C-alpha cells in the first residue's frame, strides 16, 4: 500500500470534507453519488466507476460518472475476472488497456479494492485521458478515497437492507390490519394483489382462487398497479399451477425455466422474465395461489423474496377465509332459507337501490311479480313437504332463466319477484315469458311419485319510471298487473300499462264509474292510465299538476280554487282516452285530419266530465285550456280574460311542461329556452301577467 506522507494541506482539507459528507449521508444512492463525483474531483480523475458485489456472487451492481455507456457495460465482467483477484491481492490494479471494442478517450485506469471487515465488497475505478506513470501523491489520495468508500458503501448497504426490512415489516403489518378489516371478497382480492405488488416490487400480481363450491371454476384477480386491475371467472387451470395446489411447493422460475415450461396465465401480460408463485394454505389445505411476475429491482426473485411471500401468503389465507365466512353469514341474513333466493327484506333494499340508481342515471328497469297458480289448493292436497319442493323448483327455474345482474327474490308464500335492471317493457316481457314457459313445461311427477301434474304461474310486469316513481308504487303496479293476469285465466303475463289501457278502453262506463269516486287518488290513477296511452307523456299529468298548484298558490287563490285547479290538472287530458294510439304516438307531423281529432279532445273531456256532478266546476278549465290569449286557440277561439283563469293557468304550465319533455318530433328543450318561449308568447298565446308570476316561481 501507499504511505500517506505526501498529502498536501489542500488535499487533506478536501479529504476531510469528503469524510464528513459521507458520514452525513445515509441513502445508498446519495453515498454512491458522493463517492463518484467528489472522488473524481478530489483525485483529479476524469471519470469514476463503482462496482458493488453481493452475497450471491451475481454480477455486481455498477454505477458510473463521466464515462461512456460502452465502457460502463464492461465494468461488470471486468470486475468478475482476473482484475478482481489482482485488486484483492494487491489492494489496487492499474489498467493500461481498455477492453476490446470499447471506444473511449480514457487511456489509463486504476482499480482499488473496497475491503470492509476483511471482505471485499466492491471495486472503485478512476480513469484518465493521459498515459504514463501516476504521481505517488495522487495514488495516496485515491487509496484514501477507496478506504472511505468501502466503509461508507458497506454502511449504506446495511442501512438499505435495514430500511427494506423495516419497510417490509411495515407493509406486512399494514396489510394484516387492512386485510383483516376487509369483509368484501372483491375488495379483498384487490388489496391482496396490491399489497403483494408493493411488498416485492413486481410488475404484476396474480391471485387465483378456486371457487369452494366448484372444482371447475376459479376466480382470477390481477393487479399491474394500484390503478389497473382485472378480474375474471374462468375454467380452473391445469399444468404447473394445478400441481402446486397439490404439492404446496413454491415455484420460482427465471427466463431459462420459463422457456422450458408452458405457463397458463389468464391475462395478457408483459414479457414474463421471472415468476414467483406460492400456495395460499389454510388448515393444511391449498385454497389458492399468489403469483408475482417480473421483479422490478432485480433480474429474478431470490430466497428472501420466497420467504417474504410465504409469510404474506399465511396472512392472505386467514383474510380470505374470514371474508368467505363473512359472506356466508351475510348470505344467510339476506336469503330465503328454503329457495336460496333473496328474502323479502333484501328485495326491498335492492329495489330501493335500483330506484335511486335509475333516477340518477335516467334509466328504465322492470319488476316482475310471479305467483304460483292454485298453490294453496295444491299445498292442502299434497302437503307442505311437497309444496316446499315445488317452491324450490320454481325458484331454480327463475334463477336459470335470468341474467347474473337480475335480482330474484321470494316475496312471500308462493310469490316471487325479479328486478330487471336496464330493462324496459318489451325485453322484460320476453324474460317473463321464458320463466312462464319453462315452468309450464316442467313435469313434477317425480316429486309426487307416479302422479304427474302441471305447475303454472301468472306474472305481472311494471316499469320504472314509466309506471311508477317510487318503490312502493312500482310493487303496487306489478301486483295490479298480476291481478289482471290471474283474473283473465292464469298461466299468463300482463303488463301494467296494457292492463289499464284495456280496462279503460274496453267500455266507456268504466271511466264513468271511476269518476263517480271523489277520491283524488282514484283521479290520479285514472290520469296515469290516460298518460300510459301516450309513450311520450307518461308522468305529464303529475308535473302539470305540480306547476298548476304552485301557480295558483302564488296568485293567492282560495283553497277551494286551488283544489279545483288541482283536480282540473289531474283530468285535463281525459279527452285523449278516445284518441287512437297511432295518432298520439305518431313520430312525425300530423295530417290536418289527425290534428282535428287531437283538437277535439277538450269537447270529449267535457262530455265525459258532465256525467260526474261533483266535477262540473272544473269543466271550463279543461274545455278552454288550449285557448290562446290572442283568440287564435281552440275549441271556441275566445281571448283575453274571457278565458277562465284556471284555463289560462293550465295553458301556461302545460306548454312549459311539454317544452321541457321529449316528444315524437323533437327532443326536450332547456329550461332557459322554455322560459324564453313563454316570454316571447306572453300576450299572444299566454296571459302576460300569469307568465311573469310563473317565471318567478320556476326561477
Residue 54 counted as domain residue: yes
425 in the same domain as 326: no
Could you say which of 307, 332, 357 is where a domain stops? Answer: 332
Residues 262, 269: Cα–Cα separation, whole Å: 15
CB-based contact 469:477 (threshold 8 Å): no
Residues 189, 173: Cα–Cα separation, whole Å: 17
How many helices and strands in the chain, by DSSP H and E?
26, 16
Cell numbers at 509, concatenated: 262506463
Residue 264 counted as domain residue: yes
CB-based contact 176:312 (threshold 8 Å): no
What pLDDT sits at residue 103? 56
482 in the same domain as 373: yes
**What are the average pLDDT values for consecutive 10-residue runs of the chain, which has 699 residues?**
67 90 88 92 91 80 86 82 85 79 71 91 88 85 92 88 77 70 72 79 81 58 60 62 80 71 59 84 84 82 84 81 79 90 96 95 96 88 88 94 96 96 96 95 59 82 92 88 82 84 52 57 58 56 90 94 90 77 73 80 80 83 93 92 95 92 77 94 95 93
What pLDDT sits at residue 531? 56
Residue 174 counted as domain residue: no
SS (H, E, C) 31-92: HHHHHHHHHHHHHCCCEEEEEECCCCCCCCEEEEECCCHHHHHHHHHHHHCHHHHHHHHHCE
326 in the same domain as 205: yes
Total of domains in the chain: 4
Residues 455, 448: Cα–Cα separation, whole Å: 13
Beta pairing, strands 457-464 & 493-495: parallel
- Domain of 267, CATH number, reads 3.30.450.40
CB atoms within 10 A of CB 100: 6
Task: Look at residue 228 and give its three-state secondary structure.
Answer: strand
136 in the same domain as 116: yes
pTM (predicted TM-score): 0.41
Beta pairing, strands 415-420 & 228-235: unpaired
- Domain of 392, CATH number, reads 3.30.70.270
Catalytic residue chosen out of the listed positions 182, 224, 354, 414: 414
- Domain of 575, CATH number, reads 1.10.3210.10
Residue 4 counted as domain residue: no
Could you say which of 483, 506, 529 is where a domain stops? Answer: 506
Characterize 8-25 residue by residue with b for buried, 16 or more Cβ atoms within 10 angstroms of its Cβ, and e for exposed: eeebeebbeebbebbeeb
Four-residue CA torsion sign, 653, 659, 665, 668 = negative
Contacting residues for 526 by C-beta, under 8 A, at least 6 apart: 504, 511, 514, 515, 570, 571, 574
469 in the same domain as 501: yes
356 in the same domain as 295: no
CB-based contact 602:623 (threshold 8 Å): yes
What pLDDT sits at residue 230? 60
272 in the same domain as 202: yes
Cell numbers at 467, concatenated: 309506471
E strand intervals along 255-364:
274-282, 285-295
Residue 2 counted as domain residue: no
137 in the same domain as 79: yes
Could you say which of 506, 534, 563 is where a domain stops? Answer: 506
Four-residue CA torsion sign, 177, 178, 184, 186 = negative
Residues 90, 209: Cα–Cα separation, whole Å: 58
CB-based contact 40:64 (threshold 8 Å): no
SS (H, E, C) 609-652: HCCCHHHHHHHHHHHCCCCCCCCCCCCCCCCHHHCCHHHHHHHH
CB-based contact 621:504 (threshold 8 Å): no
What pLDDT sits at residue 1? 45
**Beta bridge pairs of residue 116:** 119
Output phi, psi for 239, to 5 deg.
Answer: 80, -145
What pLDDT sits at residue 535? 47
402 in the same domain as 457: yes
Provide the terminal-to-terminal Cα distance of the chain, rounded to the nearest Å.
93
Q: Is 414 a catalytic residue?
A: yes
306 in the same domain as 348: no
What pLDDT sits at residue 248? 84
Cell numbers at 276, concatenated: 414467483
Which is nearest to 527 in space by CA: 477, 466, 569? 569
> In Å, how far are 41, 83, 129, 356, 568 from 134, measured between CA atoms?
16, 19, 12, 83, 110
Contacting residues for 666 by C-beta, under 8 A, at least 6 apart: none
Range of the domain at 323: 182-332
DSSP run (H or E) holding 391: helix 384-400
Residue 170 counted as domain residue: no
What pLDDT sits at residue 507? 47
DSSP run (H or E) holding 608: helix 601-609
Which is nearest to 532 in space by CA: 589, 480, 607, 493? 480
Residues 599, 576: Cα–Cα separation, whole Å: 10
564 in the same domain as 415: no
Residue 248 counted as domain residue: yes
592 in the same domain as 458: no
Amino acid at each position: 500500500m501507499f504511505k500517506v506522507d505526501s498529502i498536501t494541506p489542500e488535499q487533506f482539507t478536501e479529504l476531510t470534507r469528503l469524510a464528513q459528507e459521507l458520514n452525513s449521508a445515509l441513502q445508498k444512492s446519495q453515498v454512491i453519488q458522493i463517492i463518484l463525483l467528489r472522488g473524481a474531483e478530489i483525485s483529479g480523475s476524469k471519470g469514476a466507476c463503482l462496482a458493488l458485489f453481493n452475497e450471491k456472487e451475481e454480477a455486481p451492481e455498477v454505477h458510473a460518472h463521466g464515462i461512456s455507456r460502452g465502457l460502463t457495460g464492461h465494468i461488470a465482467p471486468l470486475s468478475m475476472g482476473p482484475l478482481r483477484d489482482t485488486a484483492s491481492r494487491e489492494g489496487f490494479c492499474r489498467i493500461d488497456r481498455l477492453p476490446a471494442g470499447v471506444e473511449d478517450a480514457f487511456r489509463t485506469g486504476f482499480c482499488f479494492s473496497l475491503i470492509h471487515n476483511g471482505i471485499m465488497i466492491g471495486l472503485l475505478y478512476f480513469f484518465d485521458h493521459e498515459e504514463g506513470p501516476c504521481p505517488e501523491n495522487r495514488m495516496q489520495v485515491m487509496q484514501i478515497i477507496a478506504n472511505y468508500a468501502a466503509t461508507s458503501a458497506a454502511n449504506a448497504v446495511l442501512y438499505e437492507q435495514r430500511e427494506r426490512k423495516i419497510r417490509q415489516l411495515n407493509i406486512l403489518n399494514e396489510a394484516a390490519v387492512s386485510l383483516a378489516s376487509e369483509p368484501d371478497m372483491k375488495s379483498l382480492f384487490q388489496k391482496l394483489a396490491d399489497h403483494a405488488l408493493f411488498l416485492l416490487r413486481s410488475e404484476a400480481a396474480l391471485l387465483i382462487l378456486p371457487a369452494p363450491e366448484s372444482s371447475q371454476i376459479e376466480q382470477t384477480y390481477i393487479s399491474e398497479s394500484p390503478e389497473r386491475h382485472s378480474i375474471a371467472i374462468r375454467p380452473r387451470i391445469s399444468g404447473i399451477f394445478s400441481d402446486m395446489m397439490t404439492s404446496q411447493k413454491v415455484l420460482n422460475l427465471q427466463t431459462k425455466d420459463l422457456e422450458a415450461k408452458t405457463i397458463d396465465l389468464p391475462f395478457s401480460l408483459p414479457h414474463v422474465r421471472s415468476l414467483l408463485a406460492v400456495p395460499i394454505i389454510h388448515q393444511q389445505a391449498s385454497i389458492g395461489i399468489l403469483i408475482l411476475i417480473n421483479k422490478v429491482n432485480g433480474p429474478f426473485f431470490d430466497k428472501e423474496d420466497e420467504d417474504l411471500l410465504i409469510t404474506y401468503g399465511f396472512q392472505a389465507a386467514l383474510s380470505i377465509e374470514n371474508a368467505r365466512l363473512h359472506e356466508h353469514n351475510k348470505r344467510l341474513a339476506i336469503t330465503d332459507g328454503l329457495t336460496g333466493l333473496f328474502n323479502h327484506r333484501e328485495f326491498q333494499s335492492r329495489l330501493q337501490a335500483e330506484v335511486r340508481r335509475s333516477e340518477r342515471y335516467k334509466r328504465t328497469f322492470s319488476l316482475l311479480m310471479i305467483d304460483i297458480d292454485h298453490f294453496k289448493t295444491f299445498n292442502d292436497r299434497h302437503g307442505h313437504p311437497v309444496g316446499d319442493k315445488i317452491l324450490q323448483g320454481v325458484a331454480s327455474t327463475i334463477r336459470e332463466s335470468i341474467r347474473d345482474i337480475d335480482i330474484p327474490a321470494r316475496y312471500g308464500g308462493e310469490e316471487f319477484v325479479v328486478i330487471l335492471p336496464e330493462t324496459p317493457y318489451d325485453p322484460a316481457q320476453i324474460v317473463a315469458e321464458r320463466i312462464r314457459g319453462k315452468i309450464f313445461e316442467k313435469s313434477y311427477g317425480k316429486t309426487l311419485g307416479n302422479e304427474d301434474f302441471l305447475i303454472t304461474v301468472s306474472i305481472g310486469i311494471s316499469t320504472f319510471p314509466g309506471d311508477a316513481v317510487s318503490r312502493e308504487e312500482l310493487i303496487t303496479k306489478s301486483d295490479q298487473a298480476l291481478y289482471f293476469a290471474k283474473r283473465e285465466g292464469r298461466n299468463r303475463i300482463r303488463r301494467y300499462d296494457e292492463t289499464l289501457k284495456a280496462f279503460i278502453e274496453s267500455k266507456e262506463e268504466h271511466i264513468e264509474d271511476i269518476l263517480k269516486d271523489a277520491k283524488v287518488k282514484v283521479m290520479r290513477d285514472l290520469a296515469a292510465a290516460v298518460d300510459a296511452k301516450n309513450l311520450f307523456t307518461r308522468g305529464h299529468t303529475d308535473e302539470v299538476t305540480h306547476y298548476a298548484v304552485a301557480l295558483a298558490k302564488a296568485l293567492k287563490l282560495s283553497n277551494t280554487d286551488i283544489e279545483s285547479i288541482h283536480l282540473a290538472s289531474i283530468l285535463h287530458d281525459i279527452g285523449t282516452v278516445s284518441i287512437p294510439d297511432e295518432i298520439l304516438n305518431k313520430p312525425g307531423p300530423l295530417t290536418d285530419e289527425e290534428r282535428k281529432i287531437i283538437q277535439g279532445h277538450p269537447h270529449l273531456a267535457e262530455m265525459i266530465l258532465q256525467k260526474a256532478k261533483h266535477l262540473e266546476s272544473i269543466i271550463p278549465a279543461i274545455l278552454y285550456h288550449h285557448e290562446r290569449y290572442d283568440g287564435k286557440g281552440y275549441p271556441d277561439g275566445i281571448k283575453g280574460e274571457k278565458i277562465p283563469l284556471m284555463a289560462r293557468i293550465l295553458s301556461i304550465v302545460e306548454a312549459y311542461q311539454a317544452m321541457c319533455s321529449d316528444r315524437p318530433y323533437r327532443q326536450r328543450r332547456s329550461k332557459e329556452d322554455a322560459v324564453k318561449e313563454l316570454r316571447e308568447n306572453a300576450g299572444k298565446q299566454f296571459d302576460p301577467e300569469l307568465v311573469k308570476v310563473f317565471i318567478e316561481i320556476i326561477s
